[in-house]
Structure 1
Amino acid sequence: MNIVFSLDQIKEVAEKILAQNPNKIILFNGEMGVGKTTLIKQLCKSLGVEDATSSPTFSLVNEYYTSSNQIVYHFDFYRLNKETEALDMGVDDYLYSGNWCFIEWSEKIASLIPEEHSLVTIELLADGKRELKLE
């Protein structure tokens, strides 16, 4: 799936992603500031998370509950120095829990990512819009 969108269309984009029935482990790739966290916040909202969401840049993972009591994990591995740091925090338990796992900077833990996952790539276009690819 490919979509070109502006940030004011983020709700529709999140709903289109979920309508594609992606794997519950979704990797988000793109340059800093392209809107990965903004999209993840909207995906959480579309899944029924009512609490405030934020980037887990310093905590590495935030845990949210949907209105139907599903768990959503949001990871940001930007500050990770070694994959062993992710192992030390128990990342395997999260990734194989069957819950939603939204992962920013997944290349920092590339060898730990399960084979079954979806990939969202976001690129900033010259006109300020974003191009999103879901694989």
Structure 2
Amino acid sequence: MTGVTNENGAFELTLHSTADLPATAQQIVSFADKQRIFLFFGEMGAGKTTTIKALCAALGVEEAVTSPTFSIVNEYRGKGNTVYHFDFYRLKSQSEAFDMGYEEYFYSDAYCFIEWPEKIADLLPEHFLKVSIDTLGETSRKIIAEHI
């Protein structure tokens, strides 16, 4: 499984099964370079959390990675990395992100994996890695990562 950089400079690949995720995650981390903020876009069930689990494993996280749907944020420790995993799906307003101190996380130089970033569009950093996941079939996905 090898991704390609398209004419716009985005990293693009097609996964045919979840068995492709470990290699894909390594490639995305390499493509991200020094970027630590990753925004995940895709419909419900597209595989955002599953992709984040693979990214966490690529960063050396050994504990179980679960969706922070109710807690909004989960913290993990990798090999020399801290990873914050956000799920803003249940946010009713951006003020809830203020209340949780989102800036402390986003500007900590830790990895921040953010699901449903459109819920906090006005609060997002200026630069990030946009990861779009499109469902192609029951087990196949197209992933595009691009620096914004």
| TM-score (ref. length: structure 2) | 0.87
Moved more, 4-13 or 99-108: 4-13
Q: 1:28 aligns with which of 40, 55, 62?
A: 40
- Offset of residue 19 of structure 1: 1.2
Deviation string, structure 1 residues 24-72 (Cα, Å, up to 9, x no partner): 000000001111000101100110011111000000000001132x210
Matched length: 134
Structure 2 residues without counterparts, runs of 5 or longer: 1-10
Give the direction of change, closer, same or farther, for the CA distance of 1:131–1:82 in structure 2 (3 Å limit).
same
The one of 18, 21, 38 aligned to 1:10: 21
Identity %, equivalent residues = 49
Q: 2:86 aligns with which of 70, 75, 82?
A: 75
The CA deviation at 1:128 is 3.7
Q: Secondary structure at the match of 1:85?
A: helix
Counterpart Cα distance in 1 of 2:53 and 2:67: 9
Matching residue within 94, 114, 119 for 2:130? 119
For the aligned residues, what is the CA RMSD?
A: 1.1
Equivalent of 1:86 in 97, 105, 108: 97
Equivalent position amino acid for 1:25 in 2 = I
CA shift for structure 1 position 9: 0.3
CA distance in 2, matches of 1:126, 1:22: 32
Question: For the residues of structure 2 that align with 1:128 and 1:98, how far apart are their CA atoms?
Answer: 33
Q: Distance in 2 between matches of 1:10 and 1:76?
A: 20
SS in 1 for 2:121: helix
Unaligned runs of 5+ in 1: none
Deviation at 1:127, TM superposition (A): 6.1
Q: CA deviation at 1:22?
A: 5.6
1:126, distance to aligned residue in structure 2 (A): 3.7
| Structure 1 match to 2:121 | 110
Whether the 8 Å CA contact 1:50–1:67 is kept in 2: the answer is no
Write the mapping of 1:43-58 to structure 2, written as runs, cut at 5 A.
43-58=55-70
Kept in 2, the 8 Å contact 1:22–1:118? The answer is no
* Displacement over 3 Å in runs of 4+: none
- In 1, the alpha carbon distance for the partners of 2:41 and 2:34 equals 15
Question: C-alpha separation between the residues in 2 aligned to 1:22 and 1:118?
Answer: 10
